[in-house]
Amino acid sequence: MTTPLTVEQLRPRLGQLALVDVRSPGEYAAGHIPGALNVPLDQLDRALPALRRAADRGDLAVVCASGQRAATACRQLADAGIAALVLTGGTNAWAADGHPLNRPAGARAVWAMDRQVRFAAGSLVLVGLFAGLALPGARWFAAAIGAGLVLSAVTDTCAMGRALGRLPFNRPRPGAPTLDDALTALATPPAR
Confidence of residue 168 (pLDDT cuts 50, 70, 90): confident
Proportion of the chain above pLDDT 90, given as a percent: 56
Task: Report long-range pairs for 167-171 (Cβ below 8 Å, ≥24 apart).
Answer: 169/26, 169/110, 170/24, 170/25, 170/26, 170/27, 170/110, 170/113, 170/116, 171/24, 171/25, 171/26
Average pLDDT, the chain: 88
Higher pLDDT, 180 or 56: 56
Confidence of residue 192 (pLDDT cuts 50, 70, 90): very low
* Predicted confidence (pLDDT) at residue 70 exceeds the cutoff of 90: yes
Mean pLDDT across the stretch 121-138?
Answer: 91
